[in-house]
Amino acid sequence: MPETTPPPWHAAATADVIARLETAETGLSAAEARRRHLDAGPNRLPRPPKRSLFVRFLLQFRNILIYVLLAATAVTLAMGHLADAAVIFGVVLINALIGVIQEGKAEKALDAIRDLLSPAAAVRRDGSLVTVPAEELVPGDVVVLQSGDKVPADLRLFAIRDLRIDEALLTGESVPAEKRTDPVATDAPVGDRAGMAFSGTLVTSGQGRGVVTAIGKDTEIGRINAMLQEVQTLTTPLLRQVDQLAAWLSTAVVLLAAATFGFGILLRDYTAGEMFLAAVGLAVAAIPEGLPAIMTITLAFGVRHMARRQAIIRRLPAVETLGSVGVICSDKTGTLTRNEMTVKTVITINGMFDVGGSGYRPQGGFSRAGTDIEPHDFPQLTAITRASLLCNDAALTQENDDWRLTGDPTEGALLTLGMKAGFNPTREEERQPRTDVIPFESSHKYMATLHHDHAGGAVIYLKGAPERVLEMCSWQRDEGDDLPLDRGFWHEQLDLAAGRGQRLLAVAVRTADPELRELTPAMVDGGMSLLGIVGIIDPPREEAIAAVRRCRQAGITVKMITGDHAVTAAAIGREMGIGDGRRV
């Protein structure tokens, strides 16, 4: 019987993966890991073949005009004009040196992709958990992941708990991917391979264990690295024009010199030696030896200006190509947007509130129907922002002017919302200490926390997917009073908010027995009171909006490329002034 090709790792059951890799959930032995390391090599991205400094220097002379100048240098030197020859050759040499220096700087910047790999990994060897350099990982190793870890290799997950991983560098999705252990379809794209953890991505929450299926160049990030090395080098419009000018000029100079030589000998009876010197002098004088220097200096100034704006220009002539651009295609997440989730809308029974500010900086006000308001004047808004802050596992820390998030980006957005409303996370946690928690899991789509205050009261806060939370609610809270839930009203509000391209979360509350100390799913599955709904989005960068506006004024069309839902992409596009809301 013909052999059947085994399914890819993401489509295979974890038991089959472990069997194929000849390992176990307890990991490899140290001796077996050393043997496999010798066979597989180090877990690092291969460096592309490097051209030596001398070769890069020689390649700077690969230009027709430079060839002509070198020929002019040789002829001028043969004629005994040492000063002229030195000037012409000096121009050519300076041009080459500037090109070599700039290319070297760009190569160092592009090498930074190799830093995406994790420097260390927690693995099970000989049944014990040890930390080893990521370069020593081999296929079959069992890696343990914790919140905050960078995934050190491509893994097939076989045990997880609330594991979510930020895969924006591979998929462009700003929301961390929820992980599972089930196999998926063979042709599933990278973003849908829920049972895999990919090298270079970041664990935002939860825990997990997985077996290494690929290292180094065989990982997804390694495949991208290989594709970058295969990018075809195109000739820029400027170089094409210079080559064309050099060809025409060289032809014209040769023809003119030949005509002058023939004219002097045939019609003026000069000797061949005299006319040769005259023709060569004419040819040297006609060549614009200052053109390469002027062009190189101009391009160098352009590259330096771009470098100040954090743009990497690998080769000098490429900076000129920007002047010929008619269409710019840009990634969305992290490029046009901040890759920082932000609450933009809060919906309560009293109406819809808009939230200002963006990112995790807790600055921004609240407005209603275009009028600025104070959140503490609206009890329902105060209640939902406090609940969002307390039913939360994220943390924000300030480093100079930057705010750093530890935890899930969605929870970071809710924490920032509470701080914008004037709540201090530390003080609120002291007022209502958490007693117990039901962590978020994709199976039940919510998170719930139990809190007790110092007056003997107890309360349960809950947040999660709106459709799930609405099933768990019997009431809606209106300024402290619980009224029967108006499901029609809330479904209408959900449709309106979804049309704005926002990710929605519902927040609910319930008064608990003061003696309660342990929270179970049965205690929240019914009888909750809905506080409201928050709409979250990855907001566009202010500087990106301004850049798009300037591009349009310059006649450049900007297109956004994203794997997001079409409604979300259209909403971001409208806000940035990109396109007309259509998917192309």
Separation between Cα atoms, residue 572 and residue 335, nearest integer Å: 12
In this prediction, residue 42 has a pLDDT band, given cuts at 50, 70 and 90, of very high
Determine phi and psi for 230, rounding to 5 degrees.
-95, 5
Range scoring the smallest mean pLDDT among 114-128, 147-161, 439-453, 482-496: 114-128
CB 160 within 8 A of CB 208: yes
Model confidence at 196: pLDDT above 90: yes
DSSP H or E segment with residue 83: helix 82-110
Separation between Cα atoms, residue 431 and residue 434, nearest integer Å: 10
Separation between Cα atoms, residue 530 and residue 371, nearest integer Å: 25
Separation between Cα atoms, residue 96 and residue 84, nearest integer Å: 19
- Compute, in degrees rounded to 10, the torsion defined by CA atoms 429, 430, 434, 435: 180
In this prediction, residue 206 has a pLDDT band, given cuts at 50, 70 and 90, of confident
In this prediction, residue 581 has a pLDDT band, given cuts at 50, 70 and 90, of low
- Averaged confidence pLDDT in the chain: 85
| Two structure tokens written together for 19 | 């069997």
Model confidence at 466: pLDDT above 60: yes
CB 284 within 8 A of CB 84: yes
In this prediction, residue 1 has a pLDDT band, given cuts at 50, 70 and 90, of very low
Model confidence at 179: pLDDT above 90: yes
Catalytic residue flag (residue 331): yes
Determine phi and psi for 268, rounding to 5 degrees.
-115, 0
CB 215 within 8 A of CB 153: yes
User: What does DSSP say about strands 366-368 and 128-133: parallel, antiparallel, or unpaired?
Assistant: unpaired
Range scoring the smallest mean pLDDT among 186-200, 287-301, 324-338: 287-301
Model confidence at 115: pLDDT above 80: no
Model confidence at 121: pLDDT above 80: yes
> Which pLDDT does position 48 carry in this prediction?
66
Mean pLDDT, rounded, for 344-368: 92
> Which pLDDT does position 186 carry in this prediction?
94
> Which pLDDT does position 340 carry in this prediction?
85
User: What does DSSP say about strands 142-146 and 120-125: parallel, antiparallel, or unpaired?
Assistant: antiparallel
Q: How far is C-alpha 498 from the chain's CA centre?
A: 25
> Which pLDDT does position 312 carry in this prediction?
63
Higher pLDDT, 115 or 466: 466
> Which pLDDT does position 378 carry in this prediction?
94
CB 416 within 8 A of CB 361: yes
Mean pLDDT, rounded, for 333-337: 81
Model confidence at 426: pLDDT above 60: yes
Mean pLDDT, rounded, for 156-165: 91
Range scoring the smallest mean pLDDT among 22-31, 63-72, 467-476: 63-72
Higher pLDDT, 234 or 278: 278
Percent of the chain residues past pLDDT 90, beyond the cut = 43
The dihedral through the CA atoms of 17, 22, 28, 30 has a sign that is negative
Q: Mind spelling out the 3-state secondary structure of 314-342?
A: CCCCHHHHHHHCCEEEEEHHHHHECCCCE
> Catalytic: which of 16, 218, 331, 525?
331
User: What does DSSP say about strands 473-478 and 481-484: parallel, antiparallel, or unpaired?
Assistant: antiparallel
Range scoring the smallest mean pLDDT among 187-201, 224-238, 370-384, 429-443: 224-238
Model confidence at 536: pLDDT above 50: yes
3-state secondary structure of 458: strand
Mean pLDDT, rounded, for 541-570: 83
In this prediction, residue 412 has a pLDDT band, given cuts at 50, 70 and 90, of very high
Q: For helices 272-286 and 64-78, give the axis angle rounded to 10 degrees.
A: 140
Percent of the chain residues past pLDDT 70, beyond the cut = 86
Q: pLDDT tens digit string along 129-148?
A: 999 999 999 999 999 999 88
Mean pLDDT, rounded, for 497-508: 86
Mean pLDDT, rounded, for 450-464: 95
Task: Specify the pTM.
Answer: 0.61
Model confidence at 11: pLDDT above 80: yes
The dihedral through the CA atoms of 286, 292, 293, 294 has a sign that is positive
CB 474 within 8 A of CB 508: no
> Which pLDDT does position 34 carry in this prediction?
94
